[in-house]
């Protein structure tokens, strides 16, 4: 992770505000990725949403005090997060922010203060959890703090680039810690994913490095290096450890009481369930009563609520039944149903396979080859996703396969990204025709764009292009011509996002440069911060970039 750009020697209030805002943008854009990883403490698929909601409340509180100093801003952010924190991950994030606020009481944060703040944050977050587990957001916080502490220099020996080097080391340590979580928790190992909350914190620390160094590629680097499940796997039924299948409800409330009462509440809640986390606002000198955010997983909702009522003023009660939010498990490799994706682009084969479908690639595919692919699936029910160039052969193959007993339906697609949109909604618990209709609707609602290099002189709908020009095409029509791939790609992104896009899937061709990729990341972060982003790779050379907009 390089240290580049305009570096800061200390964080002032403007930089901290920028860090918080950028963190919110990153969590919002990548909410779906984090949600898909969510299997611990419970597989409810909402960690990304909870982190983004909590950070949004922190930023909103900062916006209410536009002229405040650094200490007031960090304290306000912590309180905003505390009052709005949702779920286990949100509660821990609120406590991390409180730890920073407790430590950062001056006008600026230098390298020494950054290390002290991260250490304090990790300590108070761990204290808030009744039974801290390795391989979680707490582990990531601790290892990031350790990386900072190891780079603290004695007073008087500091160097100008110390803060930037420390921020980069912190982000790298967080990324390393996230990658290791897959082997630290059995629930994560069984799912083959990293910890969702840990990834969320790593995104936040990557944004810190970006603010300090002026280099904004850390988040993209982190996401490309993160193992995660394929699209459409959110909420898979992976059992958490510590006996949590026994506990079907999440109870959360705010409680106004003192620290002694909280000390009595913790063991009571631990007897009623698990995943106990209690975080408190900063104590006022004139009043021992504080506001606490209380979180527990339990089966005895009434007892968990009564325990709080007995010790203070309980308000903002929330009860969630996990069974109402975790979708039924579906198999993407059902022996009785398969998907065959017929596409020109051989470079997409690994992506299609990763989505649980069978790729068939080439420019001249016969109906006989497609029938052989149908037979090779071993399934009785088959859905074919076919691009226009292969439509006639796919229709003939479907007819031939039906004659020998297969049930085959054809879903037309215009571009590879539409196949990914269709695969994301497949559900083998539905009837074949219903599943095919759902996939067709998903494909049809996915707008697509592509960036290619012109090989010949030609007259297009937006003017004449010359060999070597970059062409942006939206839904099959040329919409932009230019010499700068980044400018053309950015213009295409703006067209697609302007149509109300929530998720962009970008498939990078082998000729797309790293600088253009980073430029697209920066453009999306600056102009479309709430659009979620997913990068995929292909070895194909015909296109610089495919874009799917959903």
Query: Where residue 44 sits, what CATH number does that domain have?
Result: 1.25.40.340
Report the number of distinct structural domains present in the chain: 4
pLDDT band (50, 70, 90) for residue 75: very high
What residues contact residue 70 under an 8 Å CB cut-off, 6+ apart?
A: 11, 12, 13, 16, 104, 106, 107, 108, 109
Residue found by looking up tokens 């996401």 in the block: 223
Contact in structure between 26 and 203 (CB atoms under 8 Å):
yes
Domain C-terminal end among 415, 445, 475: 445
pLDDT band (50, 70, 90) for residue 40: very low
pLDDT band (50, 70, 90) for residue 4: very low
**Nearest CA to 1 among 505, 518, 504?**
518
For position 333, what pLDDT does the model report?
37
81-108: average pLDDT: 91
Asked if residue 397 and residue 366 are part of one domain, the reply reads: yes
Contact in structure between 203 and 30 (CB atoms under 8 Å):
yes
Choose between 325 and 200: higher pLDDT: 200
Contact in structure between 52 and 31 (CB atoms under 8 Å):
yes
For position 209, what pLDDT does the model report?
92
In a domain, 128, yes or no: yes
> Residue 168 corresponds to which tokens in the numbers above?
């980069």
Highest mean pLDDT among 55-64, 320-329, 537-546: 55-64
Asked if residue 287 and residue 148 are part of one domain, the reply reads: no
Asked if residue 396 and residue 318 are part of one domain, the reply reads: no
In a domain, 238, yes or no: no
For position 283, what pLDDT does the model report?
64
525-530: average pLDDT: 83
> Residue 80 corresponds to which tokens in the numbers above?
């905003």
Report the run of H or E that residue 410 belongs to, with start and end: strand 407-412
Domain that holds residue 529: 447-549
Q: What is the domain-level CATH number for residue 268?
A: 3.30.70
In a domain, 175, yes or no: yes
Contact in structure between 206 and 21 (CB atoms under 8 Å):
no
For position 540, what pLDDT does the model report?
64
Residue 302 per-residue DSSP state: H
Whole-number percent of the chain with pLDDT over 70: 84
pLDDT band (50, 70, 90) for residue 230: very low
Q: How far is CA 413 from CA 416, 419, 445, 448, in A?
A: 7, 7, 11, 11
For position 287, what pLDDT does the model report?
60
Q: Is a pLDDT exceeding 60 seen at residue 349?
A: yes
The span from the CA of 466 to the CA of 304, in Å, is: 70
- What three-state secondary structure class fits 317? strand
Asked if residue 390 and residue 295 are part of one domain, the reply reads: no
Residue found by looking up tokens 């009434």 in the block: 302
Q: Is a pLDDT exceeding 60 seen at residue 237?
A: no
In a domain, 234, yes or no: no
Asked if residue 285 and residue 161 are part of one domain, the reply reads: no
Lowest-confidence range among 171-175, 343-347, 414-418? 343-347
For position 499, what pLDDT does the model report?
59
Asked if residue 356 and residue 421 are part of one domain, the reply reads: yes
The span from the CA of 283 to the CA of 260, in Å, is: 13
In a domain, 233, yes or no: no
Q: Is a pLDDT exceeding 60 seen at residue 353?
A: yes
77-99: average pLDDT: 90
What residues pair up with 255 in beta bridges, in sequence order?
292, 314
What residues contact residue 198 under an 8 Å CB cut-off, 6+ apart?
A: 135, 136, 137, 139, 140, 174, 177, 178, 181
Contact in structure between 288 and 312 (CB atoms under 8 Å):
no
What residues contact residue 410 under an 8 Å CB cut-off, 6+ apart?
A: 383, 384, 386, 391, 394, 395, 398
Torsion of CA 91, 97, 98, 101, to 10 degrees: -170
Q: Is a pLDDT exceeding 90 seen at residue 339?
A: yes
For position 232, what pLDDT does the model report?
37
What residues contact residue 414 under an 8 Å CB cut-off, 6+ apart?
A: 387, 388, 443, 448, 475, 476
Q: What is the domain-level CATH number for residue 455?
A: 3.30.1180
Per-residue exposure over 340-362, b if at least 16 CB sit within 10 Å of its own CB, e if not: bbbbbbebbbebbeebbbbbbbe
For position 37, what pLDDT does the model report?
60
For position 348, what pLDDT does the model report?
78
Asked if residue 464 and residue 420 are part of one domain, the reply reads: no
Q: Give per-residue pLDDT as tens, 291-311.
A: 999 999 999 999 999 999 999
- What three-state secondary structure class fits 141? helix
Q: Is a pLDDT exceeding 90 seen at residue 173?
A: yes
Asked if residue 451 and residue 429 are part of one domain, the reply reads: no
Q: Is a pLDDT exceeding 60 seen at residue 229?
A: no
User: How many other CB atoms are there within 10 angstroms of residue 286's CB atom?
Assistant: 5
The span from the CA of 338 to the CA of 358, in Å, is: 8
For position 294, what pLDDT does the model report?
92
Domain C-terminal end among 390, 425, 445: 445
Q: If you average pLDDT over every residue of the chain, what do you get?
A: 82
The span from the CA of 262 to the CA of 382, in Å, is: 58
Rg (CA), the chain: 26
For position 328, what pLDDT does the model report?
41
The span from the CA of 337 to the CA of 377, in Å, is: 8
For position 52, what pLDDT does the model report?
87
Choose between 175 and 235: higher pLDDT: 175
**Nearest CA to 206 among 191, 216, 193, 195?**
216
In a domain, 4, yes or no: no
Q: How far is CA 203 from CA 7, 49, 143, 355, in A?
A: 19, 14, 15, 25
Lowest-confidence range among 79-88, 103-112, 328-337, 358-367? 328-337
For position 226, what pLDDT does the model report?
52
Asked if residue 455 and residue 373 are part of one domain, the reply reads: no
Contact in structure between 77 and 61 (CB atoms under 8 Å):
yes
In a domain, 214, yes or no: yes
Asked if residue 216 and residue 128 are part of one domain, the reply reads: yes
Choose between 4 and 475: higher pLDDT: 475
Asked if residue 542 and residue 478 are part of one domain, the reply reads: yes
Asked if residue 144 and residue 29 are part of one domain, the reply reads: yes
Residue found by looking up tokens 């390089």 in the block: 2
In a domain, 304, yes or no: yes
């Amino acid at each position: 992770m390089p240290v580049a750009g305009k570096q800061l020697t200390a964080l002032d209030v403007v930089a901290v505000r920028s860090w918080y805002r950028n963190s919110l943008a990153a969590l919002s854009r990548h909410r779906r990725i984090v949600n898909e990883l969510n299997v611990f403490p419970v597989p409810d698929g909402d960690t990304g949403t909870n982190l983004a909601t909590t950070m949004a409340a922190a930023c909103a509180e900062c916006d209410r005090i536009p002229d405040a100093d650094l200490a007031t801003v960090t304290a306000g952010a912590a309180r905003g997060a505390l009052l709005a924190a949702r779920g286990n991950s949100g509660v821990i994030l609120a406590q991390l922010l409180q730890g920073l606020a407790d430590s950062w009481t001056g006008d600026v944060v230098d390298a020494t203060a950054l290390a002290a703040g991260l250490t304090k944050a990790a300590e108070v977050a761990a204290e808030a959890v009744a039974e801290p587990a390795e391989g979680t957001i707490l582990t990531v916080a601790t290892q990031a703090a350790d990386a900072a502490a190891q780079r603290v220099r004695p007073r008087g020996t500091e160097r100008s680039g110390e803060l930037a080097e420390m921020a980069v080391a912190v982000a790298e340590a967080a990324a390393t810690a996230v990658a290791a979580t897959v082997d630290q928790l059995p629930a994560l190992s069984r799912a083959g994913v990293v910890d969702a909350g840990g990834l969320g914190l790593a995104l936040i620390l990557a944004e810190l490095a970006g603010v300090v160094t002026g280099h904004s590629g850390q988040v993209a680097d982190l996401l490309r290096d993160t193992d995660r499940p394929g699209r459409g796997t959110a909420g898979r039924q992976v059992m958490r450890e510590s006996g949590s299948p026994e506990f079907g409800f999440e109870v959360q409330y705010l409680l106004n009481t003192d620290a002694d009462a909280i000390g009595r509440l913790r063991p009571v809640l631990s007897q009623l369930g698990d995943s106990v986390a209690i975080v408190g606002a900063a104590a006022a000198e004139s009043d021992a009563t504080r506001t606490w955010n209380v979180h527990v997983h339990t089966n005895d909702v009434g007892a968990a609520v009564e325990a709080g009522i007995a010790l203070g003023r309980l308000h903002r009660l929330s009860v969630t039944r996990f069974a109402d939010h975790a979708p039924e498990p579906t198999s993407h490799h059902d022996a009785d149903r398969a998907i065959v994706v017929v596409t020109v682009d051989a470079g997409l084969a690994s992506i299609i396979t990763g989505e649980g479908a069978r790729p068939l690639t080439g420019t001249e595919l016969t109906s006989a080859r497609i029938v052989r692919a149908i037979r090779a699936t071993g399934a009785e029910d088959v859905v074919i996703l076919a691009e226009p160039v292969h439509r006639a052969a796919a229709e003939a193959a479907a007819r031939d396969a039906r004659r020998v007993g297969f049930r085959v339906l054809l879903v037309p697609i215009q571009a590879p990204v539409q196949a990914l949109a269709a695969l994301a909604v497949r559900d083998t618990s539905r009837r074949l025709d219903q599943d095919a209709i759902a996939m067709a609707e998903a494909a049809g609602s996915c707008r697509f764009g592509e960036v290619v290099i012109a090989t010949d002189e030609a007259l297009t709908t937006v003017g004449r292009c010359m060999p070597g020009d970059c062409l942006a095409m939206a839904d099959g029509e040329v919409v932009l011509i230019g010499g700068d791939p980044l400018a053309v790609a950015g213009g295409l992104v703006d067209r697609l996002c302007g149509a109300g896009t929530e998720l962009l899937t970008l498939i990078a061709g082998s000729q797309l440069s790293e600088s253009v990729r980073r430029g697209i990341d920066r453009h999306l972060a600056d102009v479309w911060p709430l659009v979620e982003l997913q990068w995929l790779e292909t070895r194909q050379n015909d296109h610089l970039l495919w874009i799917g907009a959903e």
